[in-house]
Structure 1
Amino acid sequence: MTTIKTAMPGVIYRRPSPEEEPFVREGETIEEGQTIALVEVMKNFNEVKADQSGRLTRFLVEDGDEVAISQDIAELED
């Protein structure tokens, strides 16, 4: 089991916009480089991408949570 971490602090969003579906849901298989969330820093949105392929087993943060640099935000099963 590996984790996906943030590269910067800010507010995390698991959807591209409030009206849209999440980038990915728990239990789904994701590909390396796939966007799984956004981190907002001073009105700029930065993509959080998967470092590797696998099954996203669990998010460790909720939509709208504040995150720190290198914080684990999701667990990934190889």
Structure 2
Amino acid sequence: MGIVKREIVYSGDVLNTASRIQSLCNEMNTDILLSNNLLKQIDLKFLDKEFKSVGNITLRGKQQKIELVTPC
């Protein structure tokens, strides 16, 4: 028997978008920043927070604007 090595490679548009959003956290002085599309798809009730829009942002390398949200 040998050693099984598993690698997960993340690439493509989703990773690039996440990276662009993460890089805006410092600029917007927030620890949590996510797209409104993602917020609509996941259950964050455990955070016990309301979210507010920080605007429709054009991310580097993107043509369409993405609405970003952060906790109030």
Classify the TM-score, shorter chain: under 0.3
Greater helix share, structure number: 2
Greater strand share, structure number: 1
| Larger RCO, structures 1/2 (Cα 8 Å, 6+ apart) | 1
Q: TM-score, normalized by length of structure 2?
A: 0.25
